[in-house]
């Protein structure tokens, strides 16, 4: 048993070294508070982490930046890496009934062959309305399918959206919130150079550049980041200190704890939460992702984002990352298989999924052959996307929990925004401010 008298005390212990945890730790460490980050994985970064893809440092999960990602820009400025933002003119496509079509601008909508003029008008109006909204009004209490039906009609919803939603959400398709999807349409719709030209960004060197800069800031401000240190248990004592226990039995004590781990893991980690908090956290469903990535000798379509609506194919889209970030002559393309982890496909081997998705790529571009594949890999994540239902914020327990000095959040806390680096780092700022405010109140002046 570790001795409580000699267990080190930190002002703030942050659990999880993803974008949210690192950004929170950066803010608290910068203010002079003693800061420790505990991360289960063997490297920092969480969903934003990189891996070595045949000699290229690459995100396990593709990341693009939109022009509305102000919290990312603010953080990059603070870290002195604003000059690392790279913008690119990008395009979208739809692969429908065996054919590739342009998408994502008014001309493409007019030319799209599978919608009638009234459907085109309704679709354009919906997309325009989404980019203009500041609040969502009655849409907040609607599900996404009902909201699409109201805007587009049943037939257009089926042709343009149903399969995209279904191949990501499966049994959750009919319960997902309208505003969660509308904010996604808004984010992309607002990232434009002109009405006709989409413009998306990436961080030079990938999200690792941001992760590295955050780690550097934490360390240079006297903080510590401990990887391969999964937290098993957090317990509040009567002395206002929390004991944070790792799976290997090691312990630290903290005045403030900020947990950024996926909410489904929180109840087991913090048994002192109230029954109300536990049941609310228990009610949040998540889906997983098997994210495949290929390095190819030739392009698939040249579109950054391709939606696939075709009964013969089991992935809803391809992300041709090399249309955003330059990889020389090589093409990098991701194929995400989102699914609840009880889906039979989750039990497939990575190889089987890699083979199946490549068949889809060959259908999209019949010139592609196996000889074009330079390398390929899969990454899995069990908690990749919380399922946000209408009026979702009303269903969440407060960030500042009933356990004094313990805050809990994950990507669903910034609903209706979808998971995003910008949203995570923005949310982290608020959690850091709460922790610092309380430290100050309690006389731990920083
Ligand atoms: C396929 C995919 C594509 C995406 N595309 C984009 C995009 O284009 N643009 C964009 O902005 N965002 C994108 N995102 C979302 C973005 O990656 C996330 O919003 C962001 O990285 C979340 O950061 P986070 O810190 O909130 O969560 P996470 O990154 O999940 O961090 C949580 C951390 O907690 C750790 N942890 C878990 N349990 C414990 C424990 N017991 N003890 C200690 N640590 C623990 C985890 O290992 C993890 O590192 C994408 C995500 C995915 C999966």
The structural domains of the chain, ordered by start, are 9-63+206-283+394-441 (3.50.50.60), 90-199+286-386 (3.90.660.10)
Whole-number Å distance, alpha carbon 12 to ligand 1 midpoint, is 20
Locate the ligand 1 atom nearest the alpha carbon of residue 383 and give its number. Answer: 30
What is the chain's length?
446
Task: Place 240 in a pLDDT band, splitting at 50, 70 and 90.
Answer: confident
Q: Is the pLDDT of residue 2 over 60?
A: no
Q: Is the pLDDT of residue 1 over 70?
A: no
Locate the ligand 1 atom nearest the alpha carbon of residue 423 and give its number. Answer: 19
Shortest-distance Cα residue to atom 1 of ligand 1: 61
| 281 touches ligand 1 (CB under 6 Å) | no
Q: Which of 261, 264, 281 to mutate to test the pocket of ligand 1 (most atoms within 8 A of CB)?
A: 261
Burial of 429 (0-12, 13-18, 19+ CB in 10 A): middle
Write the pLDDT tens digit of every residue in 354-397.
Answer: 999 999 999 999 999 999 999 999 999 999 999 999 999 999 99
Cut 0.75: pTM above it = yes
Task: Place 7 in a pLDDT band, splitting at 50, 70 and 90.
Answer: confident
Q: Which of 17, 47, 292 to mutate to test the pocket of ligand 1 (most atoms within 8 A of CB)?
A: 47
| 416 touches ligand 1 (CB under 6 Å) | no
Name the strands in the sheet holding 197-203, side by side, starting at the edge strand that comes first in the sequence: 85-90, 197-203, 192-194
Lowest mean pLDDT across 6-10, 22-26, 70-74, 241-245: 6-10
Whole-number Å distance, alpha carbon 365 to ligand 1 midpoint, is 32
pLDDT score recorded for residue 446: 57
CB atoms within 10 A of CB 346: 17
> Between residues 278 and 6, which one has the greater pLDDT?
278
> Between residues 240 and 271, which one has the greater pLDDT?
271
Shortest-distance Cα residue to atom 33 of ligand 1: 16
φ/ψ of 118, rounded to 5, equals -70, -40
Whole-number Å distance, alpha carbon 66 to ligand 1 midpoint, is 18
Locate the ligand 1 atom nearest the alpha carbon of residue 422 and give its number. Answer: 11
Burial of 237 (0-12, 13-18, 19+ CB in 10 A): exposed
| 13 touches ligand 1 (CB under 6 Å) | no
Write the pLDDT tens digit of every residue in 136-175.
Answer: 999 999 999 999 999 999 999 999 999 999 999 999 999 9
pLDDT score recorded for residue 90: 97
Task: Place 409 in a pLDDT band, splitting at 50, 70 and 90.
Answer: very high
Locate the ligand 1 atom nearest the alpha carbon of residue 72 and give its number. Answer: 11
Shortest-distance Cα residue to atom 53 of ligand 1: 384
φ/ψ of 312, rounded to 5, equals -80, -5
Enter the tokens of residue 387. Answer: 């399922």
Peptide bond into 392 cis (omega under 30): no
Q: Is the pLDDT of residue 4 over 90?
A: no
Write the pLDDT tens digit of every residue in 54-82.
Answer: 999 999 999 999 999 999 999 999 999 99
| 41 touches ligand 1 (CB under 6 Å) | yes
Q: Is the pLDDT of residue 5 over 70?
A: no
| 16 touches ligand 1 (CB under 6 Å) | yes
Q: At what angle do helices 117-132 and 178-189 cross, to 10 degrees?
A: 90
């Amino acid at each position: 048993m570790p001795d409580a008298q000699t267990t080190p005390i930190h002002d703030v212990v942050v659990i999880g070294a993803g974008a949210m945890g690192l950004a929170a730790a950066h803010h608290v460490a910068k203010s002079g508070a003693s800061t420790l980050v505990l991360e289960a994985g063997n490297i920092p970064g969480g969903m934003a982490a990189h891996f070595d893809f045949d000699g290229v440092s690459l995100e396990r999960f593709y990341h693009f930046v939109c022009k509305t990602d102000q919290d990312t820009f603010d953080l990059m400025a603070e870290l002195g890496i604003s000059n690392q933002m790279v913008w690119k003119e990008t395009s979208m496509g739809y692969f429908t009934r065996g054919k590739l079509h342009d998408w994502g601008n008014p001309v493409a909508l007019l030319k799209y062959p599978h919608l009638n003029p009234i459907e085109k008008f309704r679709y354009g109006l919906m997309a325009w309305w989404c980019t203009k909204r500041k609040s969502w009004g009655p849409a907040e209490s609607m599900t996404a399918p009902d909201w699409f039906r109201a805007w587009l009609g049943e037939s257009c919803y089926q042709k343009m959206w149903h399969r995209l939603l279904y191949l990501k959400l499966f049994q959750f398709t009919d319960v997902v919130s309208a505003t969660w999807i509308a904010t996604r349409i808004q984010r992309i719709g607002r990232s434009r150079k002109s009405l006709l030209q989409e413009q998306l960004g990436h961080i030079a060197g990938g999200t690792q550049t941001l992760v590295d800069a955050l780690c550097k800031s934490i360390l240079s401000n006297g903080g510590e980041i401990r990887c391969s240190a999964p937290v098993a248990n957090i317990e509040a004592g009567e002395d206002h200190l929390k004991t944070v226990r790792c799976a290997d039995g090691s312990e630290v004590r903290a005045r403030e704890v900020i947990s950024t781990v996926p909410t489904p893991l929180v109840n087991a980690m913090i048994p002192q939460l109230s029954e109300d908090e536990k049941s609310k956290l228990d009610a949040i469903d998540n889906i997983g992702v098997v994210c495949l990535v290929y390095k190819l000798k030739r392009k698939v379509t040249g579109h950054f984002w391709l939606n696939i609506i075709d009964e013969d194919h089991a992935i809803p889209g391809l992300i041709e990352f090399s249309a955003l970030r330059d990889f020389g002559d090589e093409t990098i393309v991701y194929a995400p298989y989102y699914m609840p982890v009880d889906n039979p496909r989750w039990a497939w081997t990575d190889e089987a999924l890699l083979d199946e998705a490549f068949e889809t790529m060959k259908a999209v571009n019949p010139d592609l052959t196996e000889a074009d594949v330079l390398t390929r890999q899969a990454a899995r994540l069990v908690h990749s996307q919380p399922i946000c239902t209408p009026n979702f914020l009303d269903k969440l327990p407060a960030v500042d929990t009933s356990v004094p000095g313990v805050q809990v959040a994950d990507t669903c806390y910034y609903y209706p925004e979808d998971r995003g680096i910008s949203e995570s780092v923005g949310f982290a700022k608020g959690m850091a401010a709460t922790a610092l405010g309380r430290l100050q109140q309690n006389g731990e002046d920083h």
